[in-house]
Copies of this chain bind each other. A is one copy, B any other.
Amino acid sequence: MAELRQNVVTREWVIINPERAKRPDQFAERKAAETPLPMSDPDCPFCVGNEHLTINESFKISDGGNWRVRVVGNKFPAVENRGDRVRKTDGIYRSMTAVGFHEVVIEHPLHNMTMALMSDKQVADILMAYRERYREIRWDDRVEAIIIFKNHGETAGTSLVHPHSQLVATPVVPSQIRNRMEEAIRYFDDTGECVCCRTLRDEMSAGERIICENDDFAAFIPYAALSPFHTWIFPRRHSSSFDETTDSEIPGLAKCLRTVLAKLYHGLNNPDFNFSIRSIPTRELHVEYFHWYLTIVPRVTKTAGFEIGSGMYVNSALPEQSAEFLRNIAVPASASAA
Residues of chain A at interface, number, CB under 8 A: 71
- Take A6-B94, A304-B157 as given contacts and tell me if A278 and B309 are in contact as well, using a CB distance cutoff of 8 Å: yes
Chain A positions 133-192 with a Cβ under 8 Å from a chain B Cβ: 145, 147-151, 155-158, 165-166, 168, 170-172, 174-177, 179
A325 CB–B CB distance under 8 Å: no
Chain A positions 283-314 with a Cβ under 8 Å from a chain B Cβ: 295, 297, 302-306, 308-312, 314
Q: List 27 A-B contacts (CB under 8 A).
A: A2-B98, A3-B95, A4-B170, A5-B93, A5-B95, A5-B96, A6-B96, A15-B78, A15-B98, A20-B76, A20-B78, A78-B306, A91-B202, A93-B202, A93-B223, A149-B304, A149-B308, A157-B304, A165-B305, A170-B310, A174-B310, A175-B311, A176-B311, A177-B310, A179-B179, A276-B309, A276-B310
Contact between chains at B149 and A276 (CB < 8 Å): no
Contact between chains at A148 and B309 (CB < 8 Å): yes
State in angstroms the CA–CA spacing of A156 and B306 once bound together. Answer: 11
Contact between chains at A155 and B302 (CB < 8 Å): yes
Contact between chains at A97 and B11 (CB < 8 Å): no
> Given the complex, which residues of B lie within 8 Å of A223, measured CB to CB?
92-93
A48 CB–B CB distance under 8 Å: no
State in angstroms the CA–CA spacing of A170 and B3 once bound together. Answer: 11
